[in-house]
Amino acid sequence: MGIVYALLSSVFFALGFTSLKKSFKEFPPSVGFFFDMIFGLLIWIPFSLIIGFDFSDILQVLPYALISAILSEAFIFYILSKGELSITGTIFASYPVYTILFAVILLGERLQLLHWVFIFITIVGTTIASLPKKITKEELKGKKYILWAVAGALAVGLSDTISKGVIDKTSAAAFLFSLALMQIPISLIYLRLEKETPQHIVKFAKNIGKYKYAIMGSLLNVLGLVGLWLAFENTYASIASPLTAAYPGIMIILAILWLKEKPRLIEIIGLILIMIGVIGVSYFYI
């Protein structure tokens, strides 16, 4: 089931990012994270209560949920607002590499050779599918963009690996419940750091129809995280992470069907590699 959850997570992420692209609207990352937090409260807490968990696990999970809320959630909103998304997004897509490395080092995960081969194929396909059409010298002048993207990939890799450890000891439900709570103070602090006011949020809410695709994107991102943590509960982090990061390939399909875009040859090659990697990991996973 872990592989199924991971693939569902990837589909939700692909739908979410495609919705955000279709909306073509910009808003401050702290405000975006605020609405992400709202959806987390509305979805993660009821979901956790429905599937059930031991409330005695909360105190054990809260510190890890706080780390995840900072490194895997708020920090990502921040880094993706830096520079060109075509650069930061492409480099950030490498986070499964760091998750695997940290999982091997910190969690002692051991995979068969075939698993490593298909995971590598999935990561290569994801990277290829994420490549922008053109990277100019002007874009590359902003070296900080690259540093932010690498920092984000490292942060998510470390955070996901640490979170996987505590989920193994408790449950994904306990983690989602705790993460929903921890995102509240982080969101308020983030708003304050960017000097955002409640008036800005109210103004955003009054124009909710104008931002329907952006809101849909945030909602689907929250649903994607449900699949992510259920995947981490039911399989290795080194397997779940590359599968959940396969969303660029799915986005290509959605772009063809929904946005009527024509994929480039390199994107098709990336999509094929992702499909080979996903099918391989699923077939040979025991």
pLDDT digits (tens, 9 = 90+) for 116-161: 888 788 778 777 766 666 656 665 555 566 677 778 888 988 998 8
What DSSP character marks residue 141? T
**CB crowding 26-42: b at 16 or more within 10 Å, else e:** ebbbbbbbbbbbbbbee
pTM of the shown model: 0.74
- pLDDT, position 43: 92
For the chain, the average pLDDT equals: 77
- Overall number of domains in the chain: 1
Q: CA 80, 82, 77, 67: dihedral to nearest 10 degrees?
A: 100
User: Residue 206 sits in which domain range?
Assistant: 2-284
Cα–Cα distance between 46 and 255 in angstroms, integer?
A: 32
Query: Would you give the distance in Å from CA 76 to the centre of its chain?
Result: 9
pLDDT digits (tens, 9 = 90+) for 242-257: 777 666 667 667 667 7
